[in-house]
Structure 1
Amino acid sequence: MRATLIEETSRQTGSMQLTPEEQAMLRGEKGPAVQEAMEFQIEVGSFFEARRFVPITHAHVMGDIEVMGDGGLDHLRGMGEKHARCSVPTSSNAQCMHFHDDARLRQDEDEADKEREILARYKTMRIATTDSCIPYQQVYQPKLGEHVAWGDTGTVIYANSVLGARTNFEAGKASFAAALTGRTPEYGFHLDDARAGSILVSLQASMTDFADWGALGKIVGHPHQDYFAVPVFDEFKRMPSSDELKHLGASLASYGSMAMFHMVGVTPEAQTREMAFRSKAPQHTMVVTDRDIQAVYDAYRYQDSASNIVVFSGPQLSLFEMQGLAELFEGRTVAPGMAAVVTTNHMVYCDAKRLGYVQTLENAGVTILQGVCFYILQRLSKIREENGWTNLISNSGKLVNTITAHRFNTVLRRTRECVDIACTGRLA
């Protein structure tokens, strides 16, 4: 009997080394939900040739009805039947349902009911339904070297790069499994080797707007589409803000599928160029100037249309972005034939409302959505058709890339120019 048990355990774990606690999970001693999660994580770990698990301090799960579909909802129901509960603090990513009364953004009621069920099941699993794709700005900021398990590409690249924490892109099921077991397979960006820089970028551009950072992400990410490519930005002359680095990371992840970058003298694992590359030579070198940034803007073309939309989303806006937009929209009104949409999370919205930013934006005719990112809205293609929207103008490099799947003609513009377009209706 003992020999049979050892043989079965070895078959299930492959080459992974399990601690006594992990072995107990695999045997089902912590419940069937944890056992199933551990079995899945061993499969993932074995595929990526991980030798062991690392404990995590926080999980950030992805799952909405637009992304997970009915199959994913059934999986969530199955976890509920097994009384699944998270063993570490866990937050949730942005949702695809806005639960907002704007008739132009009508969503399917049956799907909305499923989304409400997802949110309810999150709560029974001990998931804090933060509905945020920027948890690193409001919810949880892991420390240098801290292991976490985060879903959503924008959160992962920020955690690895700006905070020096360690995480891979955790897919929906993987993020749930990590939340239940409190660990994740040690591969990829949990290991030192993957975190070494590989591309040297001499950043000589002025970088005066969030959109410039998105353009930079496109310039670097698009020709180097590699999960394990790690750009190292050097020679920039000032300290970027959290929001600027947020837009850079989101764009690199979108255009290049990248999960990490360094900025010499800024990010914690890049005090020097040598430290960023871990004493290795760059595989590629690039120089980015103001002319290169402008060329990104110049490459976008408008299509003739009487109905267009300006969107500030992807990632959700911080409190300071909300403040800046309120100042730009104050005393102005969104033009006929135009729509303007902002997305943020519940925490930022509450503070922005208290500070008057929400009222200013809504007085100008801006629609503010909580807890979502625009590009994952349920039935977005239909929403575009129903409103006749052709051009989508945004200051988000990530958004203008990802949302093309919904057949918008996308145009990247700087923030002030986006506001001017929204309020004048003139495409420039």
Structure 2
Amino acid sequence: MKLTAIEHEMMSGAMGEPRRIAIEHQLKVGRFFDAEETVEIGHVHIMADTEALGEAGVTFLENIARFPEQDRRVRVPTVTDPRGADFDAYKRIRHDESFITLERRADKAFRALDVMMTDTCINYQVFMPPVFREHVAFGDTGSSIYTNSVLGARTNFEGGPSALAAALTGRTPRYGFHLDECRRGTALFEVSTQPMSYSDWGALGGLVGREMQSYWEVPVIDGIASTPTSDELKHFGAALASFGSTPLFHMVGITPEAPILDEVFDGPPPTATKLDTKSIKDFYASYLPNDDELHVVVFAAPQLSLDEMRQLGHLLDGRRVDDKVALIACTAPAVKETSDRLGITEQIEAAGGIVLKGVCFYNMHAREIGEANGWRRLMSNSAKIVNILGGYGYEPAFASMECCVASACSGRIVV
């Protein structure tokens, strides 16, 4: 890889040991992916929950945090993905104290690096959304696919160590989706139905994701009749990234790099995979259990936007969650603060719901929380979360937000 003068300086250790470690890591990654050079980035979004970090990861962060401030401070604005615990509400869900202790240590270490603890996967809706063609280093899959696809900025899926390295150096290896040639369409999907709900959009994303064969595939979606909202694209992208490990999609006439179909592919478009109303209904049916038993309803993955919180509040207004069922809504701390001010949080919790801030249910030791509370059957309107939590000991059910609320209040699955 070609190194700039400042990168040589980092490699020499003249800019501190943390940056030397970081640039060394990036050179290994870059060489593995045949990157010719690095590219300067605008900012970093780092996944930092302790379920992923573990004791070893937290200790590594603490060691970096012990270096002098000028050596350890990040070089570009750096924000965090959802954390592994809500320090103000963890007892309400029987979250183990040992995890909370580990989370506090990680939080302290990140703050010492001048990382901004935004604790959200919807940073593109809340803080500093990237701009078209801006290079960034994002970790969360849902955040990355939205940034690449809807905003037209450029990132790969950056694992925790790589995102931290990017924060310390202000650059990332130029490979993959930082390159024009990797952003061209490779597969075509023709949609003959218009999704009507967030869960419909998630189902569509899941269907496309199931067809993906590798990280490098770029699906192109044609046939969407009306422009989706930010939240609808959020659910679509999060599900697609979860089911397909896919960082980029194009939606013809909607996303910035796909104004018309002919401009998305190198050469003639491939034969299209057709998706219709039946495809979406079959996706729902694949998550329909054999009985109506229900233990917990979760709205998360992605975290809820302010408008989703508002809608949930209206659906719960004047109703009561059944005593046998828990209802949990996860959102960004900044959205929670606004929801508090607008009375939305009170509306949800007066009905028996629990609002958690700065977390996302699947990466906050969901298996252990389920065991502590006796939760097995989980219901959500997030296609991403039902895809993930089947591997955490849950039996997931998938439905619209309206059906999820009706089920929580009935104490059984209602579809």
- Fold agreement, TM-score > 0.5: yes
Structure 2 counterpart of 1:371? 358
Partner secondary structure for residue 95 of structure 1: coil
Instruction: Quote the offset at 1:56 in angstroms.
Output: 0.3
Structure 2 counterpart of 1:243? 231
Between the aligned partners of 1:183 and 1:348, the Cα distance in structure 2 is 30
List per-residue Cα deviations over 1:257-281 (Å, max 9, x = no partner).
Answer: 000001111111111112222x333
List per-residue Cα deviations over 1:76-100 (Å, max 9, x = no partner).
Answer: 1221123311000110110111224
Instruction: Determine if the alignment matches structure 1 residue 385 to structure 2 residue 376.
Output: no
**Structure 2 residue identity aligned to 1:60:** H
Between the aligned partners of 2:287 and 2:66, the Cα distance in structure 1 is 50
Structure 2 counterpart of 1:297? 284
Question: 185, 200, 207: which is aligned to 1:197?
Answer: 185
Contact 2:94 2:373 in 1 (8 A): no
Question: 149, 152, 165: which is aligned to 1:161?
Answer: 149
**Structure 2 residue identity aligned to 1:77:** E
Structure 2 counterpart of 1:318? 305
Which residues of 2 match residues 113-124 of structure 1 at below 5 A? 113-124=101-112
Instruction: Quote the offset at 1:284 in angstroms.
Output: 5.1
Which residues of 2 match residues 95-244 of structure 1 at below 5 A? 95-101=83-89, 103=91, 105-244=93-232
List per-residue Cα deviations over 1:136-163 (Å, max 9, x = no partner).
Answer: 0001211111000011111110110000
Between the aligned partners of 1:280 and 1:151, the Cα distance in structure 2 is 32
Instruction: Quote the offset at 1:422 in angstroms.
Output: 0.8
List per-residue Cα deviations over 1:112-131 (Å, max 9, x = no partner).
Answer: 12211111111111100000
Structure 2 counterpart of 1:341? 328
Question: 37, 43, 52: which is aligned to 2:28?
Answer: 43
Question: 52, 62, 65: which is aligned to 2:50?
Answer: 65
Q: Report sequence identity in percent.
A: 42
Partner secondary structure for residue 128 of structure 1: coil
List per-residue Cα deviations over 1:237-263 (Å, max 9, x = no partner).
Answer: 100000011111110111000000011
Between the aligned partners of 1:294 and 1:44, the Cα distance in structure 2 is 42
Between the aligned partners of 2:30 and 2:20, the Cα distance in structure 1 is 15
Between the aligned partners of 2:293 and 2:218, the Cα distance in structure 1 is 42
Instruction: Quote the offset at 1:383 in angstroms.
Output: 2.2
List per-residue Cα deviations over 1:315-347 (Å, max 9, x = no partner).
Answer: 100001001111111110101211110000110
Q: Tell me how many residue pairs correspond in the alignment.
A: 411
With 181-190 and 301-310 compared, the bigger mean Cα shift is at 301-310
**Structure 1 residue identity aligned to 2:279:** D
Contact 1:200 1:282 in 2 (8 A): yes
Structure 1 counterpart of 2:275? 288
Moved over 6 A (4+): none
Between the aligned partners of 1:362 and 1:308, the Cα distance in structure 2 is 17
Between the aligned partners of 1:180 and 1:62, the Cα distance in structure 2 is 15
Contact 2:80 2:120 in 1 (8 A): yes
**Structure 1 residue identity aligned to 2:373:** N
Between the aligned partners of 1:254 and 1:36, the Cα distance in structure 2 is 31
Structure 1 counterpart of 2:247? 259
Structure 1 counterpart of 2:404? 418
**Structure 2 residue identity aligned to 1:185:** P
Runs of 5+ unmatched residues, structure 2: none
TM normalised by structure 2 equals 0.96
Question: 263, 288, 298: which is aligned to 1:275?
Answer: 263
TM normalised by structure 1 equals 0.93
Contact 1:104 1:383 in 2 (8 A): no
Between the aligned partners of 1:211 and 1:168, the Cα distance in structure 2 is 26
Structure 2 counterpart of 1:353? 340
Between the aligned partners of 2:147 and 2:109, the Cα distance in structure 1 is 27
Between the aligned partners of 1:366 and 1:289, the Cα distance in structure 2 is 35
Contact 1:303 1:390 in 2 (8 A): no
Between the aligned partners of 1:46 and 1:103, the Cα distance in structure 2 is 46
Partner secondary structure for residue 272 of structure 2: strand
Instruction: Determine if the alignment matches structure 1 residue 394 to structure 2 residue 397.
Output: no
Structure 2 counterpart of 1:8? none
Between the aligned partners of 2:82 and 2:296, the Cα distance in structure 1 is 21
Between the aligned partners of 1:322 and 1:79, the Cα distance in structure 2 is 37
With 130-139 and 80-89 compared, the bigger mean Cα shift is at 80-89
Question: 40, 50, 74: which is aligned to 1:86?
Answer: 74
Runs of 5+ unmatched residues, structure 1: 1-15
Q: Quick one: structure 1 residues 103 and 39, their matched pair in 2 at CA, closer, same or farther if it must change by over 3 Å?
A: closer
Partner secondary structure for residue 163 of structure 1: coil
With 37-46 and 280-289 compared, the bigger mean Cα shift is at 280-289
Between the aligned partners of 1:133 and 1:66, the Cα distance in structure 2 is 16
Between the aligned partners of 2:129 and 2:92, the Cα distance in structure 1 is 36
Instruction: Quote the offset at 1:57 in angstroms.
Output: 0.7
Instruction: Quote the offset at 1:387 in angstroms.
Output: 2.4
Q: Quick one: structure 1 residues 384 and 284, their matched pair in 2 at CA, closer, same or farther if it must change by over 3 Å?
A: farther
